[in-house]
Amino acid sequence: MDPYQFDSLFYDDDHRLIAGIDEAGRGPLAGPVVASAVILPRHLRIIGIRDSKTISQKEREYLYNKIIKEAISIGIGISTEDEIDQINILQATILSMERAVTNLKVKPDLLIIDALRLKNIDIKQESFIKADIKSASVGAASIIAKVTRDRIMNNHHEKYPNYGFNKHKGYLTKKHLEAIKKYGLCPIHRKSFKIKNNMLF
């Protein structure tokens, strides 16, 4: 089903403003998890919106700018690496999503969320596995979250250039692991994460 057609299933007289919610950064060894909530105009069609992981960086940047320009409202929520270590990545992801909804300037009538539920948000919610593929609103949130987090990691690269955060964005790669072994952990590494050889972060 077309992702805009999917979203259209949820519009009615009580649900005129739908916010799609998604995150970026659950899996990396370093950096924050970033969530976004995006309310698109009901009849807007932006060609190319889909799961950010399937889009090239150049296309993501184009779609990011288009979404920023056309969306009714966008909220960003961030959970830091310290929060991830304190409450675990799942709870930090939920917290970042709740913050994203709270940071919307327009209150939505319905939330469409990728796989999770937000118990501290008193708005009707629909949760779907792979919602970033099914829903245009969630796909838009995926793009906003991904580009926002990538820019954060690029900024971290300026401060910690030995780790290559501008390339791998904190995910586990051979070069990232080699840098950790050589230089140790830096302040944005998630100390609670483990890698295959049971080295504790």
* Residue position matching structure tokens 């793009």: 143
Query: Is 13 a domain residue?
Result: yes
Under DSSP, the state recorded for 194 is: B
Per-residue model confidence (pLDDT) at position 54 = 82
Distant-in-sequence contacts of 8-12, Cβ < 8 A, 24+ apart: 8/42, 10/110, 10/112, 10/126, 11/42
Cβ contact 185:163 at 8 Å = no
In a domain, 191, yes or no: no
Q: Where are the alpha helices (DSSP H) in 115-164?
A: 131-134, 136-159
Above 90 in pLDDT, residue 1? Answer: no
How confident is the model at residue 162, as a pLDDT?
Answer: 96
List, for residues 132-163, the tens digit of each pLDDT value: 999 999 999 999 999 999 999 999 999 999 99
Evaluate the CA torsion angle 172, 85, 90, 56 in order and state its sign.
negative
Structure tokens at 52: 């950010």
Whole-number pLDDT of residue 46: 93
In a domain, 38, yes or no: yes
Residue 163 lies in a domain: yes
The DSSP string of 2-44 is -HHHHHHTT-BTTB--EEEEEEE-SS-SBS-EEEEEEE--TT-
In 3-state terms the chain splits into helix, strand, coil percentages (rounded to 5) of 45, 20, 35
Indicate the number of domains in the chain: 1
Q: Does residue 48 belong to any structural domain of this protein?
A: yes
145 falls within a domain: yes
Bridge partners of residue 24, in order along the sequence: 34
pLDDT of residue 196: 55
Tracing tokens 């659950």 back to the chain, one arrives at 26
d(CA 32, CA 21): 17
200 domain-assigned: no
pLDDT of residue 36: 98
Q: What are phi and psi of 35, to 5 degrees?
A: -115, 155
CATH number of the domain encompassing residue 67:
3.30.420.10
Is 192 within the bounds of a domain? no
Tokens of 46: 């932006």
Measuring CA to CA, which residue among 58, 42, 74 is closest to residue 140?
A: 74
Range of the domain at 56: 3-183
Tens digit of pLDDT for each residue in 32-90?
Answer: 999 999 999 999 999 988 767 788 889 999 999 999 999 999 999 999 999 999 999 99
